[in-house]
Chain A
Amino acid sequence: MTPEPRAIPWWRDRRVVPWLVQGGVGLVVLVVIALLLGNLVRNLTAAGLLLSWRWLGQPASFDVAESLIPFDAAMPYWRALLVGLVNSLRAILVGLVGATLLGTAVGMAAYSGNGLVRRLGRVYVELIRNIPLLLQLLFWYFVVFLSFRNGTEALQLPGVVLAKSGLYLAWFAEGWRWQGPELVNGVWQAPWRFSVEFAALLTGLITYTGAFVAEVVRGGIAAVPKGQWEAATSLGLHWGASMRRVVLPQALPVIIPGLNSQYISLAKNSALAVAVGYADLYSVAETTLNQTGRALEVFLLLLGAYLVIDLVISLLMNGLNQLVQIRER
């Protein structure tokens, strides 16, 4: 048993093997990619659909239901896609705010002294998380929002009117005058109007994401040592104040990374708008694909747009995370 220094065979050399493995894997991947790309080019050429972006400048010749920027059918495709992107961003932004508020409230409710509130929060989370979002969206749109009526039969709450023609909200009109929805010639008018498609999409996105945000918030609060609660209470702070001033700020470093992934999934889920007739980016892209037949280009645009949105959300949340990190002194 003398430890005879033997030459290690190359297939067991720990300096060589990893590179061989890498080289092998890399080669296989490259060959597969080359084959796929070759097929793609050949098939696209045969179908006369080689990559080209010229069509983006041609008139779209279809209309889009709602738009924050001026648009008509004579404008080019890129403009239509931009309209879709803006609509998507609008839904994502409002959805983020709404889901955060709802989720924080429900997450905090898990620590309420009231047993009913606690259990209701739990039921909400368990109910919503286990039902597919698409199903919920279709339910909100076709069952709830399309059952509202127009005109005088609309559902009227203080400052809010829910009609089939849209969701009408009170807001400040000119001269800071508080202006509620009003019926003019049988048609509702209000400073703010949202289409029911937008309203249904938002309701679905907010209630769904809210349940996940609530879990993140609850977990964050759970990570705060119990002594902090007791300390806050013994200082005479009541429940709300201890939550707001003492517990939540310490929970934020745990909550924010969790929120990041929930926000990104909300942004991606907004593409389900197509099921409820809201003209988001995906919906406009699909119409564009149909009129132009440019599957690959449209897909690349979609992918790029969502990647950028995700990246922006991640960057912002990482920045926020840096801000709230507890600095030990």
Chain B
Amino acid sequence: MVRLRRLLASSPLLLALAIGGCADESGGGGVQSEKMNTIRSRGKLVCGVDGKLPGFSFLGPDGSYSGLDADTCRAVAAALFGDPAKVEYRDLNSSERFAALASGEVDMLARNTTMTLSRDSAGGNGISFGPTTFFDGQGLMAPVASGIRTLKDLAGKPICVESGTTTELNLADRMREQGIAYTPLKFQTGDQTYAAYLGGRCVAVTSDRSQLAAKRSSFPDPAAHVLLPEVMSKEPLTPASVNGDPAWSDAIRWTVFALFQAEELGITKANVAAKLAEAKANPNQADLRRFLGVEGDFGKQLGLPADFVVKVVGAVGNYGEVFERNVGTGSPLRLERAENRQWNKGGLIYSPPFR
């Protein structure tokens, strides 16, 4: 019965797929992307997130998601549909995220995922990464009372780590380099990992420093835990999509770049309408006109509406606003911009030119 209903429900999708080849999808002029057609006919973007990580993607008590990763999903939905609400979030374990992406379970990942060679390469996990949205590094957290201050203090001690993460591998590498024996206690999910750490089963927990800070902010007594100064690795947290659909990857990539570029140009959620009016009124502002889709066909080239940047920034703001709102000094996480400043302010956030 239910299967029948599902089949019936999916038949418009089949139909859309069948006629997708000849029909000109709204805004998708000339760009062939099976994925984008699927998403359009489904009417919403399915975005894989962590869901339990304050600041990045967190399911609030009212059932809505917030965070930097969630805003990335929202930005892409705004670019596709002009409506940031057309997202369905899927909570994914770190151990199931790539399989979910590869099997088409989710359209994209915005799940604090580190970009690495083996995940990117066709011979490895074979997924396609966008621009990094958060430059992070792996750290260690330990209770202040334990007296642990360096890696060496951890010799012979149990360390909690989430299984299936790069942190698990980096921990093994660093400890092997330094010849330190330790016991890795692995858990499937972040909440179990931190429950075991808070339960005192391990003397330290390792993860991305931003994640540690996020979790610490949620502990009953944040001051009782210290982030060790050691940074064990580079962790560029990056949205990803499946390999083999370059048009879809490009759409994600340039949506994220649009967030960067908007900050660089000083376009905010509040002033984007005014800027648009300004660009329309002033034919000399060529950069702004192209960026906001008043001139040229950048949106069309990507298979997106011409004014996708306006929709994106109008929905979530520019990158600086997204950062500040979710993880910045004004948020409970209180993270500094540090590496995540714009390139012209000494950071790594850099959008290639929109032209």
Contacts and interface: CB of A to CB of B under 8 A. Distances in A.
Contacts of B126: 47-49, 293
A161 interface: no
Given A48-B126, A62-B172, A279 B186 contact: yes
A35 interface: no
A62 B99 contact: no
A62 B124 contact: no
Interface stretch (B7-15, B194-202, B268-276, B279-287): B194-202
Contacts of B164: 286-287, 289-291
A65 B126 CA distance: 29
Given A61-B169, A64-B184, A72-B176, A290 B199 contact: no
Interface string B169-210: 101110110000011111110001001100111000000000
Contact of B123 (A48, A61, A66, A279): A48
A63 interface: yes
A277 interface: yes
Interface residues of B, number: 39
A80 to B, nearest CB: 11
A73 B183 contact: no
A67 B186 CA distance: 14
A65 B186 contact: yes
Interface string A38-64: 000001001111000000000001111
Nearest to B97: A290
Contacts of A150: 200
A287 B187 contact: no
A279 to B, nearest CB: 7
Contacts of B176: 72-74
B116 to A, nearest CB: 10
B83 interface: no
A142 interface: yes
A146 interface: yes
A277 B186 contact: yes
Interface string B138-180: 0000000000000000000010000111001101110110000
Nearest to A196: B201
Contact of A146 (B168, B171, B199, B244): B199
B243 A277 contact: no
Interface residues of A, number: 36
A287 B187 CA distance: 10
Counting chain B CB atoms within 10 Å of each CB, the highest count among A48, A66, A197 belongs to A48
A329 to B, nearest CB: 57
B117 interface: no
A63 B184 CA distance: 7
B188 A286 contact: yes
Contacts of B331: none
Contacts of A196: 201
Contact of B243 (A43, A47, A165, A279): A47
A209 interface: no
A241 B163 CA distance: 52
Contacts of B196: 142, 146, 277
B122 interface: yes
A275 interface: yes
A289 B201 CA distance: 26
B102 A293 contact: yes
Nearest to B182: A63
B134 interface: no
Contacts of A63: 171-172, 175, 182, 184
A197 B289 CA distance: 61
A283 B186 contact: yes
B169 A65 contact: no
Contacts of A164: 199-201
Interface in B79-132: 94-95, 98-99, 102-103, 118, 122-126
A303 B11 CA distance: 35
Given A65-B183, A290-B164, A142 B98 contact: no
Contacts of B172: 61-63, 73
A290 B98 contact: yes
Contacts of A61: 169, 172-173
Given A61-B172, A289-B95, A48 B186 contact: no
Nearest to A73: B172
Interface string A61-104: 11111100000111000000000000000000000000000000
Contacts of A34: none
A118 B124 CA distance: 59
B102 A277 contact: no
A43 B183 CA distance: 38
A311 to B, nearest CB: 28
A248 interface: no
Contacts of B163: 283, 286-287, 290
Contacts of B168: 62, 287
B306 to A, nearest CB: 31
A62 B173 CA distance: 8
A291 B99 contact: no
A46 B185 CA distance: 35
A187 to B, nearest CB: 9
B184 A65 contact: yes
Contacts of B124: 292-293
Interface of B: 94-95, 98-99, 102-103, 118, 122-126, 158, 163-165, 168-169, 171-173, 175-176, 182-188, 192, 195-196, 199-201, 242-244
Interface of A: 43, 46-49, 61-66, 72-74, 142, 146-147, 150, 164-165, 195-197, 274-275, 277, 279, 283, 286-287, 289-293, 295
Given A73-B172, A142-B196, A293-B99, 13 more contacts: A43-B103, A47-B126, A48-B123, A49-B102, A62-B184, A63-B175, A65-B158, A72-B176, A146-B200, A287-B163, A287-B186, A291-B169, A293-B102
Q: Which 4 A-B pairs have the closest CB atoms?
A: A290-B164, A146-B199, A73-B172, A293-B125
